[in-house]
Structure 1
Amino acid sequence: MPIFRSALKMFLWSLLMVASAAACASEISIEWEIGNRFRMFDYISWHEAPHAGSSAALFEKMAPRKNENSASWLRRVLAAGGSPYGAERPGAWVEDDKALRPRYQDGFADAPPFFSIKARLVVAGSHPGMPADARCVWRMDGQVIATHACSGEIASDALPATGALLEVSTGDAVLARERLVPTVKIVLGLGDSYGAGEGAPDVPTTWHPALKDGDWLSLGRRDIDGFVKKAPVWLSQRCNRSFYSYQNMVALRIAADTPHSTVAFIHLACAGAEIVDGMLAPQRMVPGQGSQCDKRTTRDAVDPACDTPVSQLTAAVGALCKVGTQPLPDQDLDRIKEALLPLEHQRHQLAWMNELRACPAGQLRRPDLVLLSVGGNDIGFSGVIKWAILPSLHSDKFIPRLMQTRKVVSAVRRKGGVVCPSPGSPYCEEAEKTSAVERIGQLPLRFVALDTAFRKLLDADAGTVVLNTYPNPLQKVAGTMCGDKAKSNTRNAWYLMRIHIPEMAQQKHWQFNLTEGEAGIVNRDVIPRLTQTLARAASKLRWRVAAQERVMDGKGWCTGRYLDMLSPANIGQWQPYDDNVRMVRTGADSFLTQWPGNQDRSDGLLGAFHPNAQGYAAMADVVLYTLKK
């Protein structure tokens, strides 16, 4: 009897479906979503053709969930093992040091051959609903892909890139039809170290337990390098590009929020990049350079061992163009350069703009979004920080060796690229000629040129560009500056910056520190001017602005744990991705997180004054809020 009643119930329900299919068609629909929504994941964990199901599984693990902010997402991802971009699992980015053609693999900006999908029936309105044991047949372009409970969910890895008709039926009744049309959203990530992810490598440095205790500097560079068990790994070893970049986090969230699309995130930001030197011309002296680059006498010609072979804009056009690219016509190049002609600082860089390439008409895939972080290197902000941290002639008067000390200090500040905050700032005897404030005054000219290039080369609408301002890492709490005590120089957050100074030239009494007074000068003269200039330039160009300047309030460099330099014996305490209060790397943080060991690189301390993973997560939330507005 139970079997008879069940069969009768199914028979009557089928009759009802046939009789009311036309009337109720609008009340039954197909809800579907793509699983492999992040193109980068199509190239991870295998070396042959991408597989939609494997990519979808990785996306499900890594993607932000509904109502999950970036900080919560980060904690979950780190607990699950962290970045999927390790050296043993190369992605779509090809560094190609030998052929000197760094690029994304051909077809990366296209849809994959097949999509992994999930689909379910949705019943609405006055429809009588479906019994729990009702069976439905799912067909894709006429081919049966599943026979499943009508109330359940089906999965398939066979949706073609061109789309397909999905049909659901029971018996002779067609319950619903849906034309599935997957799309590709293209997000470009351009700019400098804040866009690349400097300070947060995909795989941080791992250290052997210290063989002996003592002062780091007394151990010597060879012993320090010997403590490194495994050097850090970056998605781009040349540019220090990372999964933990705020740009990558934003792209992942866009993928999570667009169920019928896959996101091709073309990440080209590079540590050290400027608007001309990096974005509009091949970047000189990238962070992944070797020691031989320090002896370089000229930067006019591109040196593949020290520079990027192509500019970010040329690399972007190469990834977006459906056919081969061609040299940018002279008249278009002159139009880009036109805005730069009044430049005074680094005007010689205009001669470097000789490799920009364009895509033939009608062959460019236009970007849906351009994430941009740039301007800080153009005004020499890292040099301003060196102005504050490096010892000055006025703070180091060791009388018995005064003349030698003066000579060495002066050489260190000159070679270190010290930039004076403003023309009237103290301790600027050894600084570069043009101050940061003077460089800020010419920054709008560079943005006009960049906007012209975006329109000429990328066909990018102004509304697709989102420019970041920079977080302020100097504030302890609102109105209070972080600062070392005056005359402090032992085991503080900046102590290891002296590692690049020859041991014979070092003075124990040198003050490598950042005092509250020095921070106050930078906070007064440089940071607000830079922030205002970025915002005004973007507004004039009709770009959107993600206001990041308050992101690190109360979470600046002097907050959180392990502020002083850990000794070699205590190195095991360092956890580079722990949820620390501070959102920015100190010199000590950078050393412990990305020291390259025996690799011939000079970027172990370049993570200082860059966000850690938590800082990048906070930046991502600001951009996402800006996009929603």
Structure 2
Amino acid sequence: MRINAGRSLCLALVLTVLRAAAAAAEPHIVWQVDNPFRFFLDTADTHMHRATWASLSEAERAHPVMAAERVLAERHPDGWSAMTYLNTCWDPGLNRYACRAKSDYLNPKSHTVLTRLEGLDDSQTVDCTWLTSPQGKGPRGKAVTLPCDTPVQLEVPYPKGAWISVEIGGRQVAEAAARVTDLFIVGMGDSFASGEGNPDVPVRFSPDRTADYGVGSNKSPLSGYPARVGDWKEIGDLNFIEENARWQDQACHRSLYSYQLRAALQIAVEDPHRAVTFAGFACSGAETTFGLFLDYKGNEWVPNPPDLPQISAIAEAQCGGKDARDYDLPEAYHINEKIPELKGGLVLKKCDVERARKIDLLFLSVGGNDIGFARLVANAVLADKSILRRLGGWFGQVHGVAEAGAQLDALDDRLKSVNRALHNLLHVPWSESDRVILAAYPPMALLDDGKSICPDGQAGMTVLPEFSLSEAKARE
């Protein structure tokens, strides 16, 4: 009996393998979202990142964004974003997520998928007819007839999806269900979130001009430094400003290198059946009060600065870019008067829950400016006996860990207020708070190893004798 049972088991295994091999040999449909990162208007821009992800080794995929950036930096000396940042679904004139090519950007109605038929012999000499029928209500798609070895673009309704079938000579040879998962990913916060320090187009230096800064603290000449390109006469004149770094959002210094956008882009390219709708509103210099709850114009002057606090801007995006209602909230967010800026006169937008698009993931980095990040930097880099340090101290622009500690205590209440707004105004369920990712700040003045603090000295700051990094203060 044991021998017969063993033979039966072996026979069953053989039949299973044969059936699987036969199924794999049969014609079958393979599909992927053509442009999974919908923020990029040109599909080729997304394909570049998808191909880069596919080229990474298993070890590199442990840190995919950094690994991809290293690969892309070798191919694009000026940065990949320089070719992309003007061709997105961000309208800088309106300060809104909108684009003519995708009127349904914030609330997609369909996705273009790229399909191909695999497992068919003689596919080069046979024509295939591709058909789509919605899984919900709606008309069938147009039939497309092409050689069977040719990839085909088809429109798949969202969110219901569609059945895709292939016929040869009127006989169906393959069928597949295609349903795209479209994630709405939102970003908000300050300079750490916006990509400050990594513009889409960096300042270019002239091969013909240099800048001189006189004599340094050690009496050595400060000459031969790189100078910005352009026909400028003085630093700050019109020609000089025209050669400034360029950003997706100039006022907020928000770029495509923002960790929030790069994380969303990575999520998009990893799954062939997934798409991402991204809306980032982080702004350099923003605080929880002026920035998230209250109007904040950014840290660089532009003719049309942001006209909504970030919470209201996200609520408007949830409503498809319009019709989010204003709510007067004089008592809701000041946390028993601990945040006086939010008491009385606070008006924020909110999209009705029936219309609001669900936020699948929200990236948040905020709090550094609330505790005086710039003042802490000044404390670490201004020499103890410098005039700038004394002047900054008089005007309250330099403080150390003791002063920041008091503001850190107050930050707890501010973050509680933000958390309340995310749930009450942006409809993130309390039971699903893991949709919100609060990113921590790295320590100040780290070396390349990611652990060590820069030692005392003027490295990178030699043109101004008043600057001298203190390792001890940076460690605070």
> What TM-score results when the alignment is normalised by the length of structure 2?
0.76
Cα distance in structure 2, aligned partners of 1:319 and 1:177:
36
> 1:478/1:465 Cα in 2 relative to 1: closer, same or farther (>3 Å)?
closer
> 1:410/1:313 Cα in 2 relative to 1: closer, same or farther (>3 Å)?
same
- Residue in 2 aligned with 1:555? none
> 1:176/1:235 Cα in 2 relative to 1: closer, same or farther (>3 Å)?
same
Cα distance in structure 2, aligned partners of 1:212 and 1:479:
35
Following TM superposition, by how much is the alpha carbon of 1:229 offset from its aligned partner in structure 2, in angstroms?
A: 7.5
Cα distance in structure 2, aligned partners of 1:201 and 1:417:
26
Cα distance in structure 2, aligned partners of 1:137 and 1:309:
52
CA contact (8 A) 1:381 1:419 kept: no
- Residue in 1 aligned with 2:195? 197
Query: Which among 286, 293, 312 is matched to residue 314 of structure 1?
Result: 312
CA contact (8 A) 2:365 2:439 kept: yes
Confirm whether residue 372 of structure 1 aligns to residue 372 of structure 2.
no
Cα distance in structure 2, aligned partners of 1:216 and 1:94:
43
Following TM superposition, by how much is the alpha carbon of 1:350 offset from its aligned partner in structure 2, in angstroms?
A: 1.7
Cα distance in structure 1, aligned partners of 2:213 and 2:24:
76
Confirm whether residue 493 of structure 1 aligns to residue 470 of structure 2.
no
Confirm whether residue 223 of structure 1 aligns to residue 191 of structure 2.
no
Cα distance in structure 1, aligned partners of 2:23 and 2:383:
79
Cα distance in structure 1, aligned partners of 2:144 and 2:394:
69
Cα distance in structure 2, aligned partners of 1:25 and 1:176:
12
> 1:153/1:473 Cα in 2 relative to 1: closer, same or farther (>3 Å)?
farther
- Residue in 1 aligned with 2:153? 156
The answer for unaligned runs of 5 or more in structure 1 is 1-19, 43-54, 124-128, 291-303, 397-404, 423-434, 499-509, 523-629
Query: Which among 67, 76, 87 is matched to residue 71 of structure 2?
Result: 76
Query: Which among 120, 129, 154 is matched to residue 138 of structure 1?
Result: 129
- Residue in 2 aligned with 1:453? 421
- Residue in 1 aligned with 2:332? 335
> 1:211/1:122 Cα in 2 relative to 1: closer, same or farther (>3 Å)?
closer
CA contact (8 A) 1:237 1:288 kept: yes
> 1:384/1:213 Cα in 2 relative to 1: closer, same or farther (>3 Å)?
closer
Range that drifts further, 473-482 or 182-191: 473-482
CA contact (8 A) 1:281 1:352 kept: no
- Identity fraction in percent: 25
Q: Residue 62 of structure 1 aligns to a residue in which SS? A: helix
- Residue in 2 aligned with 1:117? 113
- Residue in 2 aligned with 1:168? 166
Structure with larger RCO (C-alpha < 8 A, sep 6+):
1
Structure with higher strand content = 2
Following TM superposition, by how much is the alpha carbon of 1:324 offset from its aligned partner in structure 2, in angstroms?
A: 0.4
Following TM superposition, by how much is the alpha carbon of 1:243 offset from its aligned partner in structure 2, in angstroms?
A: 0.7
- Residue in 2 aligned with 1:349? 341
Following TM superposition, by how much is the alpha carbon of 1:70 offset from its aligned partner in structure 2, in angstroms?
A: 1.7
Following TM superposition, by how much is the alpha carbon of 1:351 offset from its aligned partner in structure 2, in angstroms?
A: 4.4
Cα distance in structure 2, aligned partners of 1:278 and 1:245:
17
- Residue in 2 aligned with 1:484? 456
- Residue in 2 aligned with 1:513? 468
Cα distance in structure 2, aligned partners of 1:373 and 1:199:
16
Confirm whether residue 444 of structure 1 aligns to residue 424 of structure 2.
no
> 1:85/1:266 Cα in 2 relative to 1: closer, same or farther (>3 Å)?
farther
- Residue in 2 aligned with 1:272? 285
Following TM superposition, by how much is the alpha carbon of 1:469 offset from its aligned partner in structure 2, in angstroms?
A: 0.8
- AA aligned to 1:256 is V
Following TM superposition, by how much is the alpha carbon of 1:88 offset from its aligned partner in structure 2, in angstroms?
A: 8.7
Q: Residue 208 of structure 1 aligns to a residue in which SS? A: strand
CA contact (8 A) 2:165 2:175 kept: yes
Runs of 4+ in structure 1 displaced over 6 angstroms? 23-27, 216-221, 226-229
- Residue in 1 aligned with 2:3? none
Following TM superposition, by how much is the alpha carbon of 1:446 offset from its aligned partner in structure 2, in angstroms?
A: 1.4
CA contact (8 A) 2:123 2:147 kept: no
Following TM superposition, by how much is the alpha carbon of 1:202 offset from its aligned partner in structure 2, in angstroms?
A: 0.1
Q: Deviations over 1:476-519 (max 9, x none)?
A: 4687532224xxx6xx42345x5xxxxxxxxxxx5411122322
- Residue in 2 aligned with 1:31? 30
- AA aligned to 1:336 is Y
Q: Deviations over 1:388-434 (max 9, x none)?
A: 21233xx25xxxxxxxx5xx653244447212211xxxxxxxxxxxx
Confirm whether residue 102 of structure 1 aligns to residue 95 of structure 2.
yes
Cα distance in structure 1, aligned partners of 2:310 and 2:68:
29
> 1:137/1:86 Cα in 2 relative to 1: closer, same or farther (>3 Å)?
closer
Cα distance in structure 2, aligned partners of 1:88 and 1:369:
23
Following TM superposition, by how much is the alpha carbon of 1:169 offset from its aligned partner in structure 2, in angstroms?
A: 2.2
> 1:94/1:443 Cα in 2 relative to 1: closer, same or farther (>3 Å)?
same
Q: Deviations over 1:276-330 (max 9, x none)?
A: 221111126x21137xxxxxxxxxxxxx88x742100100111111450111254
Query: Which among 374, 387, 390 is matched to residue 379 of structure 2?
Result: 387
CA contact (8 A) 1:185 1:264 kept: yes
> 1:516/1:76 Cα in 2 relative to 1: closer, same or farther (>3 Å)?
closer
> 1:356/1:495 Cα in 2 relative to 1: closer, same or farther (>3 Å)?
farther
Structure with higher helix content = 1
- Residue in 2 aligned with 1:419? 399
CA contact (8 A) 1:390 1:512 kept: yes
- Residue in 2 aligned with 1:58? 45
Cα distance in structure 2, aligned partners of 1:459 and 1:481:
41
Following TM superposition, by how much is the alpha carbon of 1:198 offset from its aligned partner in structure 2, in angstroms?
A: 0.1
Cα distance in structure 2, aligned partners of 1:411 and 1:282:
29
Cα distance in structure 2, aligned partners of 1:167 and 1:238:
49
- AA aligned to 2:368 is G
CA contact (8 A) 1:110 1:184 kept: no
CA contact (8 A) 1:25 1:175 kept: no
Q: Deviations over 1:527-561 (max 9, x none)?
A: xxxxxxxxxxxxxxxxxxxxxxxxxxxxxxxxxxx
Range that drifts further, 441-450 or 77-86: 77-86
Following TM superposition, by how much is the alpha carbon of 1:147 offset from its aligned partner in structure 2, in angstroms?
A: 2.9
Following TM superposition, by how much is the alpha carbon of 1:168 offset from its aligned partner in structure 2, in angstroms?
A: 1.1
- AA aligned to 1:117 is V
> 1:85/1:321 Cα in 2 relative to 1: closer, same or farther (>3 Å)?
farther
- Residue in 1 aligned with 2:438? 467
Q: Deviations over 1:8-43 (max 9, x none)?
A: xxxxxxxxxxxx9xx96996542211111122212x
Cα distance in structure 2, aligned partners of 1:227 and 1:362:
50
> 1:409/1:187 Cα in 2 relative to 1: closer, same or farther (>3 Å)?
closer
Cα distance in structure 1, aligned partners of 2:288 and 2:378:
22
> 1:336/1:351 Cα in 2 relative to 1: closer, same or farther (>3 Å)?
closer
> What TM-score results when the alignment is normalised by the length of structure 1?
0.59
Q: Deviations over 1:570-598 (max 9, x none)?
A: xxxxxxxxxxxxxxxxxxxxxxxxxxxxx
CA contact (8 A) 1:36 1:59 kept: yes
> 1:179/1:377 Cα in 2 relative to 1: closer, same or farther (>3 Å)?
same
Cα distance in structure 2, aligned partners of 1:30 and 1:88:
34
> 1:86/1:58 Cα in 2 relative to 1: closer, same or farther (>3 Å)?
closer
Q: Residue 72 of structure 1 aligns to a residue in which SS? A: helix
- Residue in 2 aligned with 1:236? 249
- Residue in 2 aligned with 1:7? none
Q: Residue 469 of structure 2 aligns to a residue in which SS? A: coil
Q: Residue 151 of structure 2 aligns to a residue in which SS? A: strand
> 1:25/1:310 Cα in 2 relative to 1: closer, same or farther (>3 Å)?
same
Following TM superposition, by how much is the alpha carbon of 1:59 offset from its aligned partner in structure 2, in angstroms?
A: 1.2
Query: Which among 206, 209, 232 is matched to residue 208 of structure 1?
Result: 206
| Residue-pair matches, total | 413
> 1:117/1:478 Cα in 2 relative to 1: closer, same or farther (>3 Å)?
closer
The answer for unaligned runs of 5 or more in structure 2 is 1-18, 133-139, 216-221
